[in-house]
Amino acid sequence: MTNIDRFHVGKTLSETAIHQGIIYLAGQVAEDLTQSITGQTREVLAHVDRLLAEAGSDKTRILMCQIFIADLKHFDGMNAVWNEWVAEGHAPPRATVEARLVRPEWLVEMVVTAAQK
């Protein structure tokens, strides 16, 4: 049986789980909810960077990203920040859907799966 390593474990969820060299991140959302879609997207991607680094990886190793956006009118703003952030030549498979998020102040949530280095 192989180990499952979990990080930032809470009662409801872990921020990160690693199994057989694959990193699974919980949905990442902004903490500063006063920000626009561009600010929230930057903050979410900073969370992704931090968690991947803790797990021994980085954005060039992302296998899949699922993006949930509260209103598709924000798609262009979110996508502009994403395109600045994503490593050239390493754009991962991605899905973006409009969804009602748990808190109405959340504009974007991202779920990332990546490989360890």
The model's pLDDT over 80-102, given as tens digits with 9 standing for 90+, comes to 999 999 999 999 999 999 999 99
Q: Determine the 3-state secondary structure of 53 from DSSP.
A: helix
Residues belonging to the chain: 117
Task: Quote the pLDDT of residue 2.
Answer: 84
pTM: 0.94
Contact between residue 25 and residue 45 where contact means Cβ atoms under 8 Å apart: no
What's the token pair of residue 105?
């102040």
* Parent domain of 72: 4-115
Instruction: Check whether 62 has a pLDDT greater than 80.
Output: yes
CATH, residue 65: 3.30.1330.40
Task: Quote the pLDDT of residue 89.
Answer: 96
Instruction: Check whether 74 has a pLDDT greater than 90.
Output: yes
Query: Residues near 95 by Cβ (< 8 Å), separated by ≥ 6?
Result: 64, 65, 66, 67
Q: What is the mean pLDDT of residues 51-71?
A: 98
State the chain's mean pLDDT as an integer: 97
Task: Quote the pLDDT of residue 1.
Answer: 67
Instruction: Check whether 47 has a pLDDT greater than 80.
Output: yes
- Rounded percentage of the chain residues whose pLDDT exceeds 70: 99
Task: Quote the pLDDT of residue 29.
Answer: 98
As for how many domains the chain has, the answer is 1
